[in-house]
Amino acid sequence: MSLPVNSSFSPEDLDVLRSALDAWCAERRIDIKSVEAQFAASAALDLYQAGHDSRETLLHALRDRRAA
């Protein structure tokens, strides 16, 4: 994924992203430092930028995405 040059995230954005990713990893018993979690983090950024901008909608979208 490539972010636009002027793209930035507020602390609130990062809180939403981290909270959803933490929940996703906990549900799957995946270490946050694992390769699978890194792929999920990348997907979460894409999904967030696509409009899934709350913890609940982002987590739902992460659950629904197909595994790569």
Residue 29 Ramachandran class (φ > 0 left, ψ -120 to 50 alpha, else beta): left
pLDDT, tens digit, 9 for 90 and up, residues 13-56: 999 999 999 999 999 999 999 999 999 999 999 999 999 999 99
Predicted confidence band at 66 (pLDDT cuts at 50, 70, 90)? Answer: low
**What's the longest Cα–Cα distance across the chain?**
35
pLDDT at 2 over 90: no
Give the pLDDT confidence score for residue 14 in this predicted structure: 96
Other beta carbons within 10 Å of 60: 14
Helices (H), the chain: 11-28, 35-49, 55-64
Residues 53, 38: Cα–Cα separation, whole Å: 19
**pTM for the predicted model, two decimal places:** 0.83
